[in-house]
């Protein structure tokens, strides 16, 4: 399957899926193209489409192999690109972007690697917090665990490689950084990121719907221990 338009590569993924990779000089450009394709495809509610899984610069399309095959899906995508000039020119008009303000009790135990991050970056603990809250982050992908949103990009001064030995247990709600990314652990799980504090919000509801979705924007806001406990208990 030959690439076309903003799609630089198309790779079959088994008998019931294809993976689209998007071109772009930066990850933001490639991700914007991914988001527009995701919006366009899902708005058409194809009966053969089972799932769309977006990532930083790719989009996995899972289809019902009893109804269509990868070549049929490929032709639909080419037809869609020909009919929709917005896809060809990478327009993102009409895509609603939600912004979340996420409260964080920075330095909360047992999610406090501020001293270690300070040692690695040369920043004071307060400068680390100030740097982390200074950005508006974009959700590029959701995976690893239900509701685990990969967000970027953290300031260059905060870049820290993952821990050499991952923890066996990271607490639910831990706010963390690794390289250029930041994330919140939606549940207790193993992990190798540096922990900055705790978020009191549930990131996945009882119906398994995630609070943070691909394309959303996130701002972190510092709160006190008492505010954390009030929100957590509320």
Cβ(90)–Cβ(30) below 8 Å: no
Where do the domains of the chain lie, and which CATH numbers do they carry?
A: 7-88 (3.30.1360.40), 99-233 (2.40.100.10)
**233 CB contacts (<8 Å, ≥6 apart)?**
none
Q: Which of 178, 218, 217, 214 is nearest to 31 (CA)?
A: 214
Q: Which two tokens stand for residue 234?
A: 């509320």
Measure the CA–CA gap between 9 and 51, rounded to whole angstroms: 19
- pLDDT, tens only, 62-105: 999 999 999 999 999 998 888 765 554 444 455 567 999 999 99
- pLDDT, tens only, 155-168: 999 999 999 999 99
pLDDT at residue 222, as a whole number:
98
Per-residue pLDDT of the chain (234 residues; tens, 9 = 90+): 888 888 999 999 999 999 999 998 888 889 888 988 988 898 888 999 999 989 889 999 999 999 999 999 999 999 888 876 555 444 445 556 799 999 999 999 999 999 999 999 999 999 999 999 999 999 998 887 788 999 999 999 999 999 999 999 999 999 999 999 999 999 999 999 999 999 999 998 878 888 998 889 999 999 999 999 999 865
Does the global pTM surpass 0.85? no
**What are 222's strand-pairing partners?**
104
Measure the CA–CA gap between 115 and 196, rounded to whole angstroms: 10
Measure the CA–CA gap between 221 and 105, rounded to whole angstroms: 9
What sign does the CA torsion over 17, 22, 27, 29 have? negative
- Give the CA count within 13 Å in the CB-facing half-sphere of 145: 15
pLDDT at residue 89, as a whole number:
41
pLDDT at residue 42, as a whole number:
87
Which H or E element spans position 19? strand 17-22
At 15 the three-state DSSP class reads coil
Residue whose tokens read 């406090």: 112
Q: How many other C-beta atoms can be found within 10 angstroms of the C-beta atom of residue 200? A: 19
């Amino acid at each position: 399957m030959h690439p076309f338009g903003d799609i630089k590569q198309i790779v079959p993924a088994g008998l019931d899926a294809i993976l689209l990779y998007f071109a772009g000089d930066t990850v933001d450009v490639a991700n914007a193209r991914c988001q527009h394709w995701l919006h366009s495809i899902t708005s058409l509610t194809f009966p053969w489409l089972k799932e769309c899984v977006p990532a930083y610069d790719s989009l996995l399309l899972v289809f019902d192999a009893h109804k269509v095959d990868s070549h049929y899906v490929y032709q639909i995508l080419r037809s869609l690109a020909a009919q929709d000039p917005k896809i060809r020119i990478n327009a993102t008009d009409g895509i609603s972007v939600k912004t979340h303000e996420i409260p964080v009790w920075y330095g909360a135990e047992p999610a406090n690697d501020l001293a270690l991050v300070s040692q690695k970056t040369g920043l004071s603990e307060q400068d680390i917090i100030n740097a982390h809250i200074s950005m508006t982050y974009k959700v590029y992908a959701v995976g690893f665990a239900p509701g685990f949103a990969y967000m970027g990009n953290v300031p260059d001064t905060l870049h820290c490689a993952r821990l050499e030995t991952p923890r066996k247990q990271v607490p639910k709600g831990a706010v963390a950084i690794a390289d250029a990314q930041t994330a919140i652990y939606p549940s207790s799980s193993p992990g190798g990121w540096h922990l900055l504090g705790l978020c009191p919000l549930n990131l996945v509801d009882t119906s398994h719907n995630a609070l943070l979705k691909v394309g959303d924007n996130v701002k972190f806001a510092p709160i006190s221990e008492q505010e954390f406990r009030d929100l957590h208990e509320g």
